[in-house]
């Protein structure tokens, strides 16, 4: 079946370094992608989204890159801070009424 | 309210009992979603409400699960005859129009259900 998956379940980075979290999707019909951040004990929080007609979108300290050729999505966090430690989920929408989420990547920021 | 409110935040129940989980979405949001998150896993879609349209129940795992949305606002997710595999965090989200309008889902903090 169709799925959204992540290459790595965990990622550790030094404080101040840049982080890159990857996501692979299998449905070429997906037209909308979102990254969510989930801190322990909290619900997922929207970070950034991108439509399939774009390759890149930037926010504050975050950038999402979309490569439709290889069905790959990445989230880049610049100058990673301790507060960035969380689980990051990518999610896709295929014109349906609900998002399909990946299993998440645990980002740990080391002092 | 300012955000999506869910209650209870934690619920421990015995196998076979029924539970009700409540979601109060952001005022004015017409779309409401329920997701389930098992430990260390991603989010599994359960059900979606949009305005007065018939809900999309395609994600409900069994007929023990049901949900209602009264007056286009508050929603209740009911799990009958709970099983241990129902243990999870149940997340509610709302959005202004639903994904067709590319509106962002805002999630509540979730209700953690533990079935003993």
Which chain B positions have a beta carbon within 8 Å of A99's beta carbon? 43, 45, 99, 105
Total count of domains within chain A: 1
Cβ A82 vs Cβ A111: under 8 Å: yes
**High-pLDDT (> 70) share of chain B, %:** 94
- How far is B110 from B96, CA to CA, in rounded Å? 19
Mean pLDDT taken over chain B? 91
CA–CA distance, A102 with B46 (Å, rounded to integer): 15
Interface of B with A in 1-40 (CB under 8 A): 4, 33, 35, 40
Residue B10's φ and ψ, nearest 5 degrees, are -140, 140
Total of domains in chain B: 1
Answer for the pair A56, A63: CB distance below 8 angstroms, yes or no. Answer: yes
* pLDDT value, residue A94: 76
A40 in reach of chain B (CB within 8 A):
no
Can you give the pLDDT at residue A84?
97
CATH number of the domain at B82, please. Answer: 2.60.40.10
How much is the pLDDT for A5? 53
How much is the pLDDT for A60? Answer: 92
Q: What is the share, in percent, of chain B residues with pLDDT greater than 90?
A: 73
> CB-based contact (8 Å) between A61 and chain B?
no
The pLDDT of residue B102 is above 80: no
Which pLDDT belongs to residue A6?
Answer: 43
Q: What is residue A72's three-state secondary structure? A: strand
Between B21 and B2, the more confident residue is: B21
Nearest to B102 among A32, A98, A102 (CB): A32
CATH number (domain holding residue A30): 2.60.40.10
Task: Determine phi and psi for A83, rounding to 5 degrees.
Answer: -70, -10
- Whether residue B17 has pLDDT greater than 70: yes
| B107 touches B44 (CB < 8 A) | no
The 10s digit of each residue's pLDDT in A17-49 is 999 999 998 788 888 999 999 998 899 999 999
**Residue-range definition of the domain harbouring residue B110:** 5-115
8 Å CB contact between A32 and A98: no
Residues of chain A with pLDDT under 70: 1-8
Alpha-carbon distance B55 to B75, whole Å?
12
pLDDT, one tens digit per residue, over B42-96 is 899 999 998 888 899 999 999 999 999 988 799 999 999 999 999 999 999 998 8
Chain B residues near residue A97 by CB distance under 8 angstroms? 48, 50, 56, 98-100
E strands along B25-110, which residues?
A: 31-37, 43-50, 65-69, 75-79, 88-95, 106-107
The shortest CB-CB distance from B98 to any of A46, A97, A101 is to A97
Domain that residue A35 falls in: 4-110
The secondary element (H helix, E strand) that includes residue A3 is none
Q: Are B113 and B19 in contact (CB under 8 A)?
A: yes
């Amino acid at each position: 079946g169709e799925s959204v998956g992540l290459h790595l379940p965990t990622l550790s980075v030094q404080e101040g370094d840049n982080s890159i979290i990857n996501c692979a999707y299998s449905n070429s019909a997906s037209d909308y992608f979102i990254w969510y951040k989930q801190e322990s004990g909290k619900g997922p929080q929207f970070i950034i989204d991108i439509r399939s007609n774009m390759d890149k979108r930037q926010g504050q300290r975050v950038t999402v890159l979309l490569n439709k050729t290889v069905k790959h999505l990445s989230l880049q966090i610049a100058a990673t801070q301790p507060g960035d430690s969380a689980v990051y989920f990518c999610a896709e929408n295929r014109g349906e009424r609900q998002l399909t989420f990946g299993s998440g990547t645990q980002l740990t920021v080391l002092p | 309210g300012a955000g999506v409110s869910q209650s209870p935040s934690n619920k421990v129940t015995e196998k076979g009992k029924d539970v009700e989980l409540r979601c109060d979405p952001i005022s004015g949001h017409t779309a409401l979603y329920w997701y389930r998150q098992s430990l260390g896993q991603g989010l599994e879609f359960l059900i979606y409400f949009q305005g007065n349209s018939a809900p999309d129940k395609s994600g409900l795992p069994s007929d023990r699960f049901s949900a209602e949305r009264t007056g286009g606002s508050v929603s209740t997710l009911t799990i009958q005859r709970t099983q241990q595999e129902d243990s999870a965090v149940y997340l509610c989200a709302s959005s202004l129009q639903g994904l067709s309008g590319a509106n962002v889902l805002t999630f509540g903090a979730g209700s953690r259900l533990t079935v003993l």
